[in-house]
Amino acid sequence: NREFFIRKAIGWALRSYAWTDPVEVARYVRENESRLSGLSRREALKNVLAAMR
């Protein structure tokens, strides 16, 4: 399904950016929680804690 891969790619982009600015990614996900799919949120937050260490 095409939408699956679009949602996954959004999460991947945010996850990648989390290595640069994990606080901003966490803020973005929190402020846009209702607009992001669960898959995008999960993928986006995978590196946030690791990047903050």
pTM of the model: 0.88
* CA dist list (Å): 42 to 37, 38: 9, 6
| pLDDT mean values, one per 10 residues, the chain (53 residues) | 95 97 97 97 93 84
pLDDT tens-place string over residues 19-29: 999 999 999 99
Numbers of helices and strands, H then E, in the chain = 4, 0
Domain ranges of the chain: 2-52
Query: What is the pLDDT at residue 51?
Result: 85
CB atoms within 10 A of CB 20: 9
Sequence-ordered list of residues with C-beta below 8 angstroms from that of 14, at least 6 positions apart, any chain = 25, 28, 29, 40, 43, 44
CA distance 20 to 27: 14
